[in-house]
Structure 1
Amino acid sequence: MGSIQIPCKVISPMFSYGNGKGIKKLEPRPTELKGLLRYVYRIASVESDTEKLYKWETALFGGQTSGATEKAKIKASPLRLQFQENKSRRCKGKQSLRRHVDKNTNGNGCMPCYLPGMMFDITLSMLPRTEYKPITSGMPEKKNLMSWYQDLFLLSMVIGGIGRRTRRARGCMTTQMLKEISRKELSEWITQRLNIICGCEAYQTQEDIVDASLSPNQITNRPVIEQIRIGRPISNVDDYLMKIDNAAHKTRAIKRDKYATGFTKQKQKQKQNGKPKHRSKCLPNRLASPAIVSLVEIKEGLFPVYTLVKAIYNGEPLDLERQERMQFLQDIEVGE
C-alpha cells in the first residue's frame, strides 16, 4: 500500500514525554499522534449511534471487537505510524507549561519541551496485506485509504497538537503542504477535509466560519464539532500563549460549578462509617475543554484556529448558546 513521509515543524512548545517515572524525558510518541487522529475523526463524525461509530473507528484505527456470539478480540490498525526526531533540526529547551502561573524567570517551574523550529519526520504507512473493508458508505474504499489518512493527519495538525495542554495551543506543528494554503482558502480547506473524513456533506463555510450543516443538536451524548473559527494573525507565539492562559484564568475567576471551557475538580465519594474516604480515593471530575485553541502556519504566517465542540458533562449539555466559549475566544483575541 506504500507509505507517505511528512516532515513536520513544531510551531508552539511541545511538552511530550515518555511513560517513564521520575525525570521527564522528551519523546515523540506515535501513540499520542494516533490518539489525536482518532479524536479528530470522532469529533468530526456526525453519527449519533455511538456503537456504530466505535465499529467504524475500530475498522480504521484498530481496537477490541466483540459480538453477541463471539469472544472479544483485538483488531490491528491498518495504519502504521512512525514519529521520529529529525537529527538535522533539534530544538529543545525549557518553558513554562502555564504562563499565568509560572511567571518567574529563573527556570523554576519550567519543563523540558521541544521548541518552535524542531523538526520531526512522520511516516504514514500500510502493510501490503492490510485487512480492511469499509462497513458503511461513508468510509473510504481500501484503494483510497492512504489518501484518507493523509487528509485526516493534515486536518489534525490544524485543529490539534501533541503532548500536554494541547487544547491551549501547545504542541502544534505544520507541514509544507499546510504552508501552501492561503488565508483566504483556509476555512474552505478545513470544510472540505471535514466532509471527507466524516463521509458526507456535514460541514459548510459561511462567512469564513466553518459550521456544522447537519445540526449537532441531534447528538446529545458526546462531543462533536459545532464550529471552527480562524483568529487574527500572530506575530509572537509566547505572547499569544500568555493571552490564552490569562483568558482561561479570567474565566475561572467567575465562580461557577461547571465551566464550558473545561475544568478539573475533585468529587468526594460518599462517606463510609460517617467519615469521608481518603483523598486518594476521590473521584476526579473533569471536562476536557470544548473550546480547543490551536495554531496553524500557512502562506501568510501563523494564525489561531478555534474549534468549538459540543460541551457535554456527565450527559448534561452546557453553554448551548456558546456564550461562555465565545467570550473566552474574545478574551484571547483582545488580550491584556
Structure 2
Amino acid sequence: MASLFTCRYISESLSSSFAYHLFFLILTPLIFPFLTLTAAQASLCRTSCGGIPINYPFGIDDGCGSPYYRHILVCPDSGQLELRTPSGRYPVRSLSYSDPHILVSDPFMWNCQDGDAFRPTRPFSLDTSTHFSLSPQNDYLFFNCSEDDVIVEPKPIFCERFPDRCDSSCDSASYLCRHLPECASALGGSSCCSYYPKATESLRLMLKYCASYTSVYWRSSGGNPPDDQIPEYGVRVDFDIPVTTRCLQCQDTTKGGGTCGFDTQTQDFLCLCEQGNTTTYCKDLVVRHNKRIGVIAGTATAVSFAGVVGIAAGIWYLIKLRKKAPVACGVQSNENRLF
C-alpha cells in the first residue's frame, strides 16, 4: 500500500513538473519577440576624442559621419586622436571645422631636438581618393641635400637665370632656413633649403638625396594679415565638408537633431537618432516608428494571448490524461506514454 502511494505521489509530481517546464518553454518564445520590439535602441556616435570634437563629416565609430572619411580618424585606448594615411598614423594636434583643416605632427620628421643628428625618415602622403589635400600653407625644409643631384641655390638668383627651371630648385636663402622656428641655430653647419613638392613622388625623390626634412605651416595669430602669420612645425591637411540636404535636415534641431551617418553595408545615408536610424529625420522616425510598433505590438499581443489560452488548455488536458493513466512506477508502456 505504501509502495502504491509513493508511486502515485511520484507520478503526480512528475506530471506537475512536466507541465511547468512545458508551459515555460512554449510561452517564452511567444513573449520574448514582443519584449525585444519595445526595447529596440540605436547606438549613437562619440563626439570627441582626447578633447578634440568629432563632428560631421568625421566619425570615429563606423557608420558615423560621411562615408568619404570612413576609417580616416582613429581614437585608440590612449585617447590621442590619429589621422590614418597610406604612410602611417599621425597624432592630430587640432581640428577646425570653420576653416576646414587638420593639424598633425609627424614623429619621423626632423625637429629641433635632432639638431644635425638626422634620423631616417619617410615621406608623408595622403590618399588621393579621399577629400584631403596638403595645404598650400605648408612649407618644406630639406637638410644636407646632395648638390650633385638637387639644385640648391638662392631661388631669386636662380629664377632670374633659369626661369623655366625655377620650380625645380630648392631655395637655400629662404626665410625659414635663415630663421628656423623655435631653434634658429639648431642645424649648426648643415645645409638647408626650402622646396614645395607637388606630389608624393617628388617628395620621395628629394628624400633620396637629402638627409631629412620637416614641414612648417603658417598659423594665423588673429592679427592683421599678412603680419599675423606664425610658423610652426607640423602638417596642415585641408578637407572638404560634403553638404547634403538630407544631412542638414537630419541635424535640424526642429526635426529632432539627429547625427548624420551611413549604412556600413551599402554606405547609403542614415540619420542616427536615439530611437533608431532613419533615412529622413528623427521626428519622422518617431511618427513612423510609433505607428509601425503599434501595429506589430498589437499583433504580437493578440498572438501571445491566443497562444497562452491554447497552451493552457492543452496542458490542462495533458495533466488530466496523466492522472487517469495507469501508474507503472518506472515502467514505460503504450498506455502511459505521452508522445
Instruction: Place the TM-score, normalised by the shorter chain, in its bin.
Output: under 0.3
TM-score, normalising length from structure 2? 0.22
Max Rg structure: 2
